[in-house]
A and B are shown apart, each in its own frame.
Chain A
Amino acid sequence: MRDPIFPHCHLLGIEGLSPLEINRLLDLSDPYVEQNRGPDKASESLKGRTVVNLFFENSTRTRTSFELAALRLGANVINMQIGSSSVSKGETLIDTAVTLNAMHPDVLVVRHPQSGAVKLLSEKVNCAVVNGGDGSHEHPTQALLDALTIRRRRNKIEGLKVAICGDVAHSRVARSNFYLLLTLGAEVRVIAPRTLIPSELARLGVQTFTDMREGLKDCDIVMMLRVQNERMTGSFIPSVREYFRFFGLDREKLALAKPDALIMHPGPMNRGVEIDSDVADDFERSVIREQVELGVAVRMAILELLANNLSAKRADTDGVK
């Protein structure tokens, strides 16, 4: 039977999900956090199912997290890392999708450097598709693991002041987090240099700040974004040291947030660029490692849910025949 609250077969993004659906995904993730901390991490719920990690962009963390999640559920996993050179030929995407689909996978986890590519691919296959990050668009599992981390630490998301700092223009993590946090009733602030704030951002419902000190004031959560090195060479930002001066998180700036404000980062961190090591490694404030930990639980819940919804859907269609 399909999940009554989250009946979808794909997770392509957070935009459009209801608070009920988001909370359902978080509720399903919680028990896996405990299971992963225990000695017996294995379950059999996806035994016999095939999960394919299809990555058109380099990734270690996300891919490993999905792989581990699938293995712990007893699924068979294959990893396909497709070089960015063959991606530029474009047609590869749909060809690859159709080819893979013919081998009857149950879940495809897809990462692609182009916004919208995962949705396009999902239209060409009849298995479940999880967006593992598409271009500058969405990275839904990251937002869900961020939300789970916050919820477990603060017992709520509604009403919290969350500052998201850094390269918002090119960040899929930022977009997924905007949609999720706003949907669950948080107040979202963006702190970034003007060159990294996309146009009409305010219309998404977030407040924008170019002064980090002002933006961090009274925040409950400080979420730092990675700044890609190629954006730092004078194209968007004059230099690394200038960026760190104005937008890097250090003790002094952090002091403006609430005294118990949590520090988050989707990783991998550029120490000394967007975040000072001193702050990143502060075990009382920084939940960066916890984010990684909870990522596996969130992905287990999602893989299991989508695979079950897919089975139910396939059973329905067979019934119709």
Chain B
Amino acid sequence: MTGDQPVKTAFTGARLLDPASGLDEIGDILSDGEKIAAVGPNLFDGSPPSDATVVDVSGLCAAPGLVDMRVQIREPGEEHKESLRSAGEAAVAGGVTSMVCLPNTDPVLDDEATLEFVARRARLHALTKVYAYGAATKGLKGEELAELGLLADAGALGFTDGTVGIADAQVMRRVLAYAATFNLMVVQHPEDSSLAGNGVMNGGETATRLGLSGIPREAEIIMLERDMRLVEMTGGRYHAAHISTADSVEIIAQAKQKGLQVTCDTAPFYSALNELSVGDYRSFAKLSPPLRSEEDRQAIVEGLKSGVIDVIASDHSPQDQDSKRLPFAQAAYGGSGLETLLAVSLELVHNQDLPLLDVLAKLTSIPAKLLGLDAGQLRKDSPADLVFFDPGIGWKVIGDNFRSKSKNTPFDGRPVQGKVIRTVIDGRTVFDAMTNADPA
């Protein structure tokens, strides 16, 4: 798509930020082909190589491209909500260079063929690198094991039933045990569906006031507690997706202390918003898990600070207007997240909760390591997947301006600080905010 771009590019004068090595100083990056050829302070001594295109990025932060480990792409099946192309455009605008999609497409990604279909379509149409989780159970029904081994061979980075928790303890036990064979993690949506019942938002004062059925926090807590026992029993690798309660942080912390192979992530929704965002039935704030109380939100921030929460993922869940312009209880769950991932995560830095490198680690090197991807690092011979951003630029989130097909952001109207200026994948610029257009 950009074959006429030069092979070598010199990015000069940026604040280099490599969370894996702790590098944080002004310097330069030289990319050669798809790789980083050199990175460091004063790389060129004032004169970059003559065969390289020089891009002056002084004043900007340079970090490894973001690795987003939880993205829903609606292709195949619901391309009107999001396609690999539109998700890719949204991703690069948000600084995301690698993303992992959930298997909850139609058809479900529970066999090699569909997984390969997505991989092929992604190569052809997506600007980003797209990976996928395989279904943990056939048809995401939570009953029979999917062909985990064949899925692993076909490139699945882990197994999950997507937005559904695996309810049956016996099934979960076997998924964990079987997946451990391939040393791949099982990503759980921790929610006890019987306890969640017909709830549509966090159980609490707001739900009571609005006359909506609540999902108690315990739906998440009980599922996590059960799963910790199963992890202990099977020795599997477990990753809890988008945790949202104070108790969840505690449970994961204890499991880690015990030495279990347990990790978790949360989404910016849960560190930045609470149940009050639902306000007067705002269906854009209808998420799964639901936005919780302010106490829970603060505990999630603490979990990020202490390191119990390993990763920040966008939890991108595109929905079209028709799915959201409904009475609250009937509206679809989910928020568009790719284009606000970095800016909202940077609130943690601006609020002085976490240092910049720590936030970036949760967005780059740590998820890459969990997923086994060669990504998320700013060092020689790594793929030249880079994001250049200005952490100081303020802007206002306006869903209608999203590149994603879906405009359903719970952050609509929120002033944020930190803007992606340029995104580079395999040495090629795929997003440039200055020209306000991507070369594709």
Q: Which residues of A contact B (CB under 8 A)?
A: 15, 88, 90-91, 93-94, 112, 114-117, 119-120, 134-138, 172, 175, 198-201, 203-204
Contacts and interface: CB of A to CB of B under 8 A. Distances in A.
A138 B211 CA distance: 8
The 6 closest A-B pairs by CB, nearest first: A116-B281, A114-B327, A137-B211, A136-B211, A117-B327, A200-B205
A233 to B, nearest CB: 16
Contacts of B214: 198-199
A147 B214 CA distance: 29
B204 A199 contact: yes
Contacts of A112: 327
Nearest to B200: A115
A133 B103 CA distance: 40
B330 interface: yes
Given A116-B210, A199-B208, 15 more contacts: A15-B209, A90-B326, A114-B329, A115-B210, A115-B327, A116-B281, A119-B281, A135-B329, A137-B210, A175-B209, A198-B208, A200-B204, A200-B205, A203-B208, A204-B205
Interface string B310-337: 0000000000001001111110000000
Interface in B196-255: 203-205, 207-214, 216
A120 B205 CA distance: 21
B150 to A, nearest CB: 39
A119 B155 CA distance: 47
A175 B212 CA distance: 12
Given A115-B281, A116-B281, A199-B214, A93 B208 contact: no
A172 B211 CA distance: 7
Contacts of B168: none
Contacts of A199: 203-205, 207-208, 214, 216
Nearest to A92: B326
B208 A94 contact: no
Contacts of B204: 199-200
B280 interface: yes
B209 A93 contact: no
Given A135-B329, A199-B214, A116 B207 contact: no
A16 to B, nearest CB: 10
6 contacts: A114-B329, A119-B280, A175-B211, A199-B204, A200-B204, A200-B205
Contacts of B329: 114-116, 135
Given A120-B281, A199-B216, A91 B326 contact: yes
A88 B325 CA distance: 13
B394 to A, nearest CB: 30
A238 B207 CA distance: 25
B211 A135 contact: yes
Contacts, number: 71
A94 B216 contact: no
Contacts of A204: 205, 208-209
Contacts of B211: 115-116, 134-138, 172, 175
B215 to A, nearest CB: 11
Contacts of B216: 199
Contacts of B281: 115-116, 119-120
A199 B329 CA distance: 18
B65 to A, nearest CB: 39
A116 B328 contact: yes
A90 B330 contact: yes
A91 B280 contact: no
A115 B213 CA distance: 10
A117 to B, nearest CB: 4
B322 A91 contact: yes
B212 A115 contact: yes
Contacts of B203: 199
B331 to A, nearest CB: 8
A57 B176 CA distance: 46
Contacts of A135: 211-212, 327, 329
Nearest to A12: B280
A199 B213 CA distance: 10
Contacts of B207: 198-199
Contact of A201 (B208, B213, B326, B328): B208
Contacts of B210: 115-116, 137
A134 B209 CA distance: 13
Contacts of B205: 199-200, 203-204
Contacts of A88: 330
B212 A136 contact: yes
A175 B280 CA distance: 15
A132 to B, nearest CB: 15
Contacts of A134: 211
Given A120-B281, A203-B205, A204-B205, A115 B328 contact: yes
Nearest to B282: A116
A94 B325 contact: yes
